[in-house]
Amino acid sequence: MSDEPKRHYTASGTATRRGHNILIAAPGVGVKITLIGATFQLEDRSVLLRLINGKGGATISKVVMSGKGDRIAMRFPIHAQPRLSDNAALILNLSRVTSCGYTIWYYLS
């Protein structure tokens, strides 16, 4: 493991489609996304959120948000930070059409 500091990135936006919403595009062959933290804020009606590893579809986290303005913040401990599969996108799956703001902090390895 390298002692070099990791360059951190931020992805922010609003997911609105029922089903899969790509939050972070696949970074390229041989590169993995490692999550540091995430926030989600429901801007519309209730929904089930699933944060998904783009390859294989494994669920990283699942949350039910029941009302407009509900929010959640996740900070992953350094030794338990989810690392996606090689060249996998980070996907947010919404159980219905709604509006959900997000911010993701991550690094590439």
pLDDT score recorded for residue 66: 85
pLDDT digits (tens, 9 = 90+) for 71-89: 989 999 999 999 999 999 9
Distance CA 31, CA 88 (A): 8
Tokens of 42: 């429901």
pLDDT score recorded for residue 5: 66
pLDDT score recorded for residue 22: 93
Tokens of 40: 């989600």
Listed residue (91, 109, 79) closest to 8, CA to CA: 109
Q: Point out the residues of the chain with pLDDT beneath 50.
A: none
DSSP state of 85: P
Angle at 5 between CA 88 and CA 56, to 5 degrees: 15
This prediction has a pTM of: 0.88
